[in-house]
Structures are given as structure tokens and as C-alpha cells.
Amino acid sequence: MFAPLSPAAQAELLRSIVERSRPEPGKARPVVVFDLDGTIFDNRPRTVAILRSFSATIRGARPELAEQLDSLVPAEVPYLLTDTLARLGITAEYDVKTLRDHWVSCFFSDSWMTHDTALPGAVDFARTCWNRGASIVYLTGRDLPNMALGSFASLRDTGFPVGVPGTALVCKPDPAMPDEHYKRDVCPEMGRVGDVIASFDNEPGNCNAFLEHFPSAASVLLATQHMPGAPALQTGVDIIADFRF
């Protein structure tokens, strides 16, 4: 786990990005880039809802397994589904495979994103940057064929600026593409939108890539969850707990 800045230092960093969000005459429009899962959204409630939906189908036949699944709460959901199931005491190969198949079919689809919740301060921060004049780009590893419509609806319904001038939702074109490779390839394209002044992500590798491509911008890691075996964080990446400022 990464240690975030103190609340005071976090607020100072975020306020400085808000200040830089104001366009200057004769210069490119400022751009703030946000990842979605684990960055501005907590998707752990999505996993809880999916596993409980499976529980409802087996409650009569497998009451013990249903009870294990029903006991799960978002705060106890680690990054990997297998770790989540192990915490519940579910390790039998058949059960793990069955649950994983159900989870995959739901998690990477539009309809279940309604369970995601915004990180504290995220909506207010994004709207403040946009109101100041920055363009907002949501750059996500969610894929275009299966998750774009749900992502748009989730952003809209949660209150993030989306579907209006100065905003864009960018999804990877192929679900099979590894997220980090996709973002490394596409993050330089963010410069086509304007002057990238800040990027936010929960994956250290993505933060490192943005720091390399946009060294004058703030590259910020959310200290939520990240992929096991993630690379070391480069010096110059800031770490925050949420978006309260």
C-alpha cells in the first residue's frame, strides 16, 4: 500500500490543480484526466451486488454458500476475486470457477455499474475543474463494446460532468487489451485535447506513464487498490486518499 499525503497537503495539491484549470488567453485549454475504477469510482459495491445476486439463486440448495456470499461487504473486497472468495472461506475449485464465471459475465457489462459509488469529493472536484474551464477526459480500461454505455450513464447519474462540451469518455476498443498497455499507447493522445495539467489513476504503472509523457503535469495516484505486482511508483507521483479539498 502507498501512504497518501496528509489531508492538508492533499487539499493543497487539489486546489492547485483547480487554479491551473482556468484557461489563459493564447494558450491551449487545460485538461484533467481521470481513470474510473478505483480512481473516481469505488467498484467494490458492484462485486458485492454480483455475488449476492448469485447467492439468491442457490439459497435453497446451498444455504451455507449463500450465507457466505451474503456476509460480504464492500470494505472487505480485495483487488482479486479469488482473494475475495478466499476471505469468505470459499476455496473449492468448482465453486470458485462457477462464481468467477458469473462475476465476469456481470462485472464487465453495462448494467451492473449502477452499484458503483463515487469516491469522497470526486464529483465536486471534477465539476469544479470543469467549471473553471478545464476539459475533462475520462480515460478508462473499460472496453467500448460492453461497458461504454454503462460508464456514461454512471458518470451522468452520479453527477460528474459528461456529455457536455469540454468532456470526453475514452474506452479501450478491445476487451482483451491489457489496461496498462492500452493506456501507455493512448495517453500521449491526450495532448490532442489540450494542455494536460493533471492525471489521476489507481495503477502505479499508469501514473508512471503519464509522468513520463507529461512531466509538467501533476500525476496523482489514488491510494485505493491496484493490481498485484504493480511496478514501483516513480518519484514525482503524488498520492492521495480521495478528492476532498
19-66 pLDDT tens trace: 999 999 999 999 999 999 999 999 999 999 999 999 999 999 999 999
Percent of the chain predicted with pLDDT > 70: 100
Query: What fold does the segment set 7-42+117-240 form as a domain?
Result: Rossmann fold (3.40.50)
Q: So where are the chain's domains?
A: 7-42+117-240, 44-114
pTM above 0.85, yes or no: yes
Grid cell listed for 36: 474510473
